[in-house]
Amino acid sequence: MDTEKEFLSNYHIEDYERPSVTADVAAFMIRTEDKTSYRKNPENKLLLLLIRRGAHPFKDMWALPGGFLQKGETVEECALREIAEETTVKPVSILPVGVFSEPDRDPRGWIISNAYASIISEESVRQTGCDDAADAQWFAVSFTCSADGNYLLTLEYEDIRLEAVLAAEKTRFGRTTFRILESGGLAFDHAAIIAAALSALRGEAKNYEAVFDFLPETFTLTAMQKVQETIMNVSVLPANFRRMVSAYVEETDEYVRGEGHRPARLYKRKK
Amino acid sequence: MDTEKEFLSNYHIEDYERPSVTADVAAFMIRTEDKTSYRKNPENKLLLLLIRRGAHPFKDMWALPGGFLQKGETVEECALREIAEETTVKPVSILPVGVFSEPDRDPRGWIISNAYASIISEESVRQTGCDDAADAQWFAVSFTCSADGNYLLTLEYEDIRLEAVLAAEKTRFGRTTFRILESGGLAFDHAAIIAAALSALRGEAKNYEAVFDFLPETFTLTAMQKVQETIMNVSVLPANFRRMVSAYVEETDEYVRGEGHRPARLYKRKK
DNA sequence: CAAATAGTGTCTCTAAGACAATATCAC
DNA sequence: GTGATATTGTCTTAGAGACACTATTTG
């Protein structure tokens, strides 16, 4: 009968075949567009960071930032590291989306991916400017349910337009998985990962958690509502929105002036 | 410039160090206890399947069933296979709980675990009888928040009593992770995995999805309510429970008779 | 003043909690 | 009848959607 110590010294973990493990990150940002009139409030756009692959496989196609898990870090730390390497900004928060482990999902071999959604604040990007590299760009996101029950994921940056089609498959427990019908020029199974990340993000925006992460320290309630509506792709009456978030925010004494209409009070998140 | 084909033939995935990947499963069952009186309804108990480890490390301690990911299967398939190998019954459903990847979580080396909760119906266990092996037993589960804000996880089988203490750490998005203060004799970080699985299970029982999976094809509403209450550790007034589930169930023409009180109509899940 | 947004009040409807009351069986 | 559960109905309250109305600013 071995002792535990003896057992461990004789144990060779290398004897078993193992997969490679990666973390892939869908990094979202909301950009405030330019005003169309001196008195109109600006629109918002939901953006997703994609990297143009410089190497095979899927060379020159667009993919989520991500990379291999390194010894000594957790998968979550790996996701944070990868997003930091690509953007130079620290994500406000990070949300697990799922594990993608279909054996044939990567032509390089047996590689399973831990997917995360992360939220990057517009503020932090404006400060450090992270999209100067031509191979990393923020794409405008559209994700809608089409008439035939499939989902259409559209990603646009200047004249580049990626259109993926996904079949939504309801699994147990109200979860939905997405099967790629057309990848739309996205590498690997990243179209499915992006769809899952968007679903997760929308789920978390319901309780306003995710909404705050897109916003600066202080914000107007209208700005908050626009963020919520941009993520969720629905609209609410302003009066009702104010009532619903009133428990989560607190007033400051400051106002936004000079907008061509009544000044809006700034709020901050209630701890 | 390589073609993709050339690139892949020169690509040696073995050059990079990789972790081992496992799936661990918290398999839950609800057992109907014996009646204490001819006319009283029986109580329910929530049970969790644990395996006594026959090998180092943590030899002779209790652990979740689980095992290494094999080539050609997804982590979910791995979880299903592992639970089938241990119990001979097919779980009704399986629910992802999270990835546990702290570098030092396994003394054998770099091993990350994909945790799942699975639901086993009492019916299927009664039919095939899966706990004849002395090294696999169903433990009664108790999981409560103690006065100091920590969580107490108690697992009992006959004279064996495992008591783990966990600190709940709120992460973003309303999620909670559990840090082990006392493992209570559970192997690896399995106390934390069990706590996370119970949290996930309770979350899914709110919308009755998980509740149906514990029940047979047809059931009384009282039986359904007891299952819900057993999982969630809360109680509801019967009148209100009936109203709340009325949208999810439909009547059958059958009744349960001979119980010493008014016969209860049998219901089935509404598709 | 006009255009636009900021902000308040109120009506209605629905869902959930509390609770009263009735129904039906085995012993 | 008694003790237990089964089942229905109703009162109340909280929250969300709809909408009317007022307030405030800049060009």
Cβ distance A93 to B17 less than 8 Å, yes or no, reads no
Summarised one tens digit per residue, pLDDT across range A157-179 is 999 999 999 999 988 887 899 99
Domain presence at residue A7: no
Q: Is B73 exposed, middle or buried (0-12, 13-18, 19+ CB in 10 A)?
A: middle
Cβ distance A213 to B7 less than 8 Å, yes or no, reads no
Question: Residues B121, B230: one domain?
Answer: no
In eight-state DSSP terms, residue A148 is T
User: Among A84-93, B69-78, B220-229, where is mean pLDDT lowest?
Assistant: A84-93
Domain presence at residue B5: no
Instruction: Report residue A132: phi and psi, to 5°.
Output: -75, -30
Q: Which pLDDT band holds residue B129 (cuts at 50, 70, 90)?
A: low
Whether residue A238 contacts residue A194, with contact meaning beta carbons closer than 8 Å, is answered with no
Question: Residues A51, A126: one domain?
Answer: yes
Question: Residues A229, A177: one domain?
Answer: no
Tell which wins on pLDDT, B147 or B133: B147
What's the rounded Cα separation, in Å, for the pair A175 and B242? 25
Question: Residues B219, B134: one domain?
Answer: no
Question: Residues B200, B250: one domain?
Answer: no
Question: Residues A124, A152: one domain?
Answer: yes
Question: Residues A263, A175: one domain?
Answer: no
Please say if the pLDDT value at position A252 is more than 60.
yes
What's the rounded Cα separation, in Å, for the pair B34 and A100? 44
Domain boundary pick from A167, A190, A206? A206
Q: Which residue of A has its CA nearest to B108?
A: A8
Angle at B206 between CA B202 and CA B207, to 5 degrees: 130
What's the rounded Cα separation, in Å, for the pair B271 and B269? 6
Domain that holds residue A263: 209-269
Q: Give the DSSP H/E element, type plus range, for residue A84.
A: helix A75-87
A260 beta carbon to strand C: under 7 Å: yes
Please say if the pLDDT value at position B130 is more than 60.
no
Cβ distance A172 to B209 less than 8 Å, yes or no, reads yes
Task: Look at residue B123 in the predicted model and tell me its pLDDT.
Answer: 83
Chain centroid to Cα A216, Å, comes to 18
Domain presence at residue A240: yes
Q: Which pLDDT band holds residue B26 (cuts at 50, 70, 90)?
A: very high
Tell which wins on pLDDT, A128 or A187: A187
CATH number at residue A223: 1.10.10.10
Domain presence at residue A51: yes
Task: Name the residue facing B172 among A72, A95, A174 (closest C-beta).
Answer: A95
What's the rounded Cα separation, in Å, for the pair A3 and A258? 76
Domain presence at residue B9: no
What's the rounded Cα separation, in Å, for the pair A167 and A177? 8
Question: Residues B44, B129: one domain?
Answer: yes
Smallest Cα–C1' distance to nucleotide C3: which residue has it?
A39
Cβ distance B21 to A103 less than 8 Å, yes or no, reads no
What's the rounded Cα separation, in Å, for the pair A107 and A265? 54
Task: Name the residue facing A74 among B20, B101, B107 (closest C-beta).
Answer: B101
Task: Look at residue B6 in the predicted model and tell me its pLDDT.
Answer: 64
CATH number at residue B128: 3.90.79.10
Domain presence at residue A231: yes
Q: Which residue of A has its CA nearest to B9?
A: A108
Q: Å from A26 (CA) to D8 (C1')?
A: 51
- Residue A164 CA: distances (Å) to CA of A24, A107, A201, B39, B85: 18, 20, 19, 60, 39
Whether residue B129 contacts residue B148, with contact meaning beta carbons closer than 8 Å, is answered with no
Chain centroid to Cα A211, Å, comes to 12
- Our count of domains for chain B comes to 2
Kindly report the pTM of this predicted structure. Answer: 0.93
Type of residue at B42 = P
Domain presence at residue B42: yes
Q: Å from B260 (CA) to D1 (C1')?
A: 14
Whether residue B109 contacts residue B18, with contact meaning beta carbons closer than 8 Å, is answered with no
What's the rounded Cα separation, in Å, for the pair A165 and A163? 7
Task: Name the residue facing B16 among A16, A68, A207 (closest C-beta).
Answer: A68
Summarised one tens digit per residue, pLDDT across range B73-125 is 999 999 999 998 888 787 778 999 999 999 999 999 999 999 999 999 988 87
What's the rounded Cα separation, in Å, for the pair B93 and B52? 24
Question: Residues B220, B172: one domain?
Answer: no
Tokens 């730390």 found at: A77
Q: What is the mean pLDDT of residues A26-34?
A: 96
CB < 7 A contacts with chain D (nucleic strand)? A 38-39, 236-237, 239-240, 243-244, 257-263; B 37, 39-41, 220-222, 238-240, 242-243, 255, 259-265
DSSP string, B78-133: HHHHHHHHHHSS--SEEEEEEEE--TTS-TTSSEEEEEEEEEE-HHHHHHH----S
Domain boundary pick from A206, A223, A251? A206
Q: Which pLDDT band holds residue B174 (cuts at 50, 70, 90)?
A: confident
Please say if the pLDDT value at position A262 is more than 70.
yes
C-alpha neighbours within 13 Å on the C-beta side of residue B81 = 14
| Residue among B51, B47, B43 at smallest CA distance from B86 | B51
Question: Residues A107, A239: one domain?
Answer: no
Domain boundary pick from B206, B221, B251? B206
Smallest Cα–C1' distance to nucleotide C8: which residue has it?
A239
Please say if the pLDDT value at position A259 is more than 80.
yes
What's the rounded Cα separation, in Å, for the pair A85 and A93? 16
Question: Residues A68, A195: one domain?
Answer: yes
Question: Residues A108, A35: one domain?
Answer: yes
What's the rounded Cα separation, in Å, for the pair B160 and B185? 10
Q: Å from B15 (CA) to C12 (C1')?
A: 68
Domain presence at residue A6: no
